[in-house]
Amino acid sequence: MKSKADVQQGTLALMVLKTLDVLGPQHGYGIARRIEQISGDLLAVNQGTLYPVLLRLEQEGAIDSEWGASDNNRRARFYRLTRDGRRQLQSEVADWNQTAEIIARFLAARAEDLG
């Protein structure tokens, strides 16, 4: 069995924001599962890191939480993106894309291109 990678430091917050943006309000377990699914089960989300990140995002005002009922009518805390969070997501996505593009360009570089 192929071992799953842990989420890279610093990217978990971005994944959380994106997940909430795409799928709307989610509870913690849901967020973790969705991230794992989206990654094609290549990532394992450690709850120990997820909850502090959720708390931090909430204290920063990027997300909001309230109690609600889950699919099978269980009480659960649902997180949703705030307007600040959406703005934060946009800027982080832009940053990330830029970084990725730069890295991709570097990795694609060949000697003759630069000659």
Partner 1 sequence: MRSLRRYLARIWNFAARRNSNRRLREELEMYIELEVEANLRAGMTPAESRRQALLKLGPAQAVRESYHAEASLPLLETVLQDCRYAIRVLRKSPVFTAVAVLTLALGIGANAAVFSLLDSLFLKPLPLPHPEQLVRIYSKGPSGHYGAGFSMPEFENLRNHARSFTALAAEDRIAQLNLVTSDGSSPVSGAFVSGNYFDLVGVQPRLGRAFLPEEDVVPNRNAVAVISDALWKTHFHSDTAIAGRQIRVNGTPLTVIGVAPAGFHGDLVGSPEEIWIPAMMLGKGGFACADSSYNCSVIDAVLGRLAPGIPATQAQAELTSDIVWTATDWPERPSRRQAVLFPTRAPWPESLADQNAHMQLLEAVTGSLLLIACANLAGLLLARGAARKREIAVRLAIGARRARVIRQFLTENLLLSAMGGAVGLGLSFAMKGFLARFYQTDSEGFHHLYDVSFDWRVLIYTGAVTFLTGIFFGVLPAIRVSRQDLNAELKQSAPAATPISGRLGDSLVVGQVALCVVLVVSTGLLVRSGMQLERGTNFDPAHVVVLRLRPELLKYTPQQVKAIVLESTRRIRENSQVQSVAFMQGGEGLVWNWQNGREAQVAISGAEAALAHTGVTVLKQDIGPGFFRTLRTPLLQGREFDSGDRAGFPRVAIVNETLAMRLWPQGMAVCRTLIVDGVPHRVVGITANLQPRNVLHGPEPHLYLSYWQSGSTQEGDVRLAIRVSGDAASALTAIRRTIRSIDPAVPIGEDMLMSEQVDLEYMPVLLARSVMSYCGVLALCLGAIGIYSLLAFAVRARTREIGIRITVGARRGDVIRMILLQGVRLTFMGVFIGLGAAVCLTRLEGSLLYGVRATDPFIFAFVTIALFVSALVASLLPARRAASIDPTLALRAE
For residues 78-107, which are near partner 1 according to CB under 8 A?
88
Region near partner 1 per CB under 8 A, out of 17-25, 43-51, 97-105, 106-114: 43-51
Whole-number minimum distance, CB 104 to partner 1, in Å? 28
Q: Is 39 exposed, middle or buried (0-12, 13-18, 19+ CB in 10 A)?
A: middle
Region near partner 1 per CB under 8 A, out of 8-16, 21-29, 94-102, 103-111: 21-29
For partner 1, the closer CB: 60 or 101:
60
- Please identify which residue in 8, 11, 37, 47 interacts with partner 1, judged by CB under 8 A: 47
**Sequence-ordered list of residues with C-beta below 8 angstroms from that of 48, at least 6 positions apart, any chain:** none
Whole-number minimum distance, CB 113 to partner 1, in Å? 39
What are the distances in angstroms from CA 21 to CA 39, 62, 88, 110?
Answer: 16, 11, 11, 38
Region near partner 1 per CB under 8 A, out of 17-25, 50-58, 94-102, 107-115: 50-58
**Quick check: 74 binds partner 1 (CB under 8 A)?**
yes
